[in-house]
Structure 1
């Protein structure tokens, strides 16, 4: 394991690796340790997962670890509104393929982006999160610094809601094309349902992996700019139990790297 750097920015622990594969492997090991630690104290725990190519290496390694999955309730971080049920770009499909179909959770709780009433769907999912408070959040960071789909234009560090509908910024929609999820920006939905920043920050532990050169500006703003909604991910610097995993590419603009 080629750990290039290891430092803190306020409360946030940052681990920098040579490759995204090493970063994903390390995150999976760290998450597994905390899962086992929490399950010594509780009968079951609750974890929310992000859906993006940035999560591939982490999830590929996590499913190989022998954990008591049947004591874990799984949630997902955000979902597009209005994609066809069989669309391969649905975040629920990504998580099903990567992890939900590969291990046996106690429960898997999906956001329904095609609900007849998306506002009622937000309330339903919010009630689930209140019933099953998050122990662990496994997330990423967007090219514009968003976490989940809390875009700079709609991010609120003091949001009263746990789940809400958001309009996606053009940069986020372009990222989906860069990631190879869609062929053209016109195909990318304009609206999504997302967990809010307070919902994410409420998790006892946060693990955030952000590999790739297309994320280097977001990472610089996240770690070296102000803690501000102009870069929503900067709020992770205030969390007492958060770890950020970077590779050589995503950390390339950092002074400490």
Structure 2
């Protein structure tokens, strides 16, 4: 699964780079993406100097350079290995700078994303069906914003502990900045990597359930160029 997803992402990047001077890619920071990112880092024929990299979300209160932040996770797992020409990170520390901090940092990062849009989104699906931190209670398929502050729901916070990102639920931040559903779905192409039995219910709802914010990932079915990569465990909830 991860190898196939990496081959697809590498091929799309090569094709996009053949069409335009610069390519804009947004990455998810999650354990589920590890195998795909390793394969993508090892792929040849990609001029990473012409790639601008973004990430989907960040915890409010974790500054640039904090090893627990999503930006630093991606730095370790992919960006320091391939050296994109430009990397734009969400500053979770700036987002914690007073009552206006989350909106100000969200607006700053949103403007960077809006200035050129996204060519390729490399994402996953959460146990509750979220994309990024668009949990069901905050997901909006027609969100007018590009990035917004959200309160992370209990399922997503518990998933961070199970993924090994934090030692306990109390250690997981409660607030985050997330790229919105509308901004993710506006990406030219989307690659979705979803492994594991813990994602089976979310995958089934994504593929077979109604398209609704109760399962935000269900909106992927409306996208003209979204590709889903799953393993046998993740697809086990889907019956023919």
Do the two structures share a fold, i.e. TM-score over 0.5?
yes
Deviation string, structure 1 residues 163-203 (Cα, Å, up to 9, x no partner): 00000000100111111111211110000000000110111
Q: What is the match of residue 14 of structure 2?
A: 36
Matched length: 234
Q: What is the match of residue 225 of structure 1?
A: 209
CA distance in 1, matches of 2:6, 2:167: 31
Q: Please, which runs of 5 or more residues in structure 2 have no aligned partner? A: none
Deviation larger for 197-206 or 175-184 = 175-184
CA distance in 1, matches of 2:54, 2:20: 18
Q: What is the match of residue 163 of structure 2?
A: 179
CA distance in 2, matches of 1:87, 1:46: 24
Decide whether aligned partners of structure 1 residues 84 and 41 sit closer, same or farther in structure 2, where only a CA change above 3 A counts: closer
Deviation string, structure 1 residues 16-45 (Cα, Å, up to 9, x no partner): xxxxxxx11111111111111111211111
Which of 139, 157, 175 matches 2:123? 139
Deviation larger for 66-75 or 87-96 = 87-96
Shift of 1:114: 0.7
Q: What is the match of residue 200 of structure 1?
A: 184
Which of 66, 71, 74 matches 1:95? 74
Q: What is the match of residue 54 of structure 1?
A: 32
Q: Which has the higher helix share?
A: 2
Shift of 1:142: 0.5
Shift of 1:93: 1.2
CA distance in 2, matches of 1:29, 1:247: 16
CA distance in 1, matches of 2:51, 2:178: 21
Q: CA RMSD in A?
A: 1.1
Shift of 1:241: 0.4
- Identify the structure with bigger relative contact order (alpha carbons < 8 Å, sequence gap 6+): 1
Which of 152, 158, 173 matches 1:189? 173
TM-score under structure 1 normalisation?
0.89
Q: What is the match of residue 126 of structure 1?
A: 110
CA distance in 2, matches of 1:199, 1:106: 22
Shift of 1:118: 2.2
CA distance in 2, matches of 1:83, 1:110: 12
Q: What is the match of residue 111 of structure 1?
A: 90
CA distance in 2, matches of 1:216, 1:182: 23
- 2:49 is aligned with 1:65: no
* DSSP-derived class of the 1:152 partner: coil
TM-score under structure 2 normalisation?
0.95
CA distance in 2, matches of 1:138, 1:152: 20
Shift of 1:86: 5.5
CA distance in 2, matches of 1:131, 1:224: 35
* DSSP-derived class of the 2:92 partner: coil
* DSSP-derived class of the 1:47 partner: strand
Q: Which has the higher strand share?
A: 1
* DSSP-derived class of the 2:135 partner: coil
- Residues 18-37 of structure 1 aligned to structure 2 (within 5 Å): 23-37=1-15
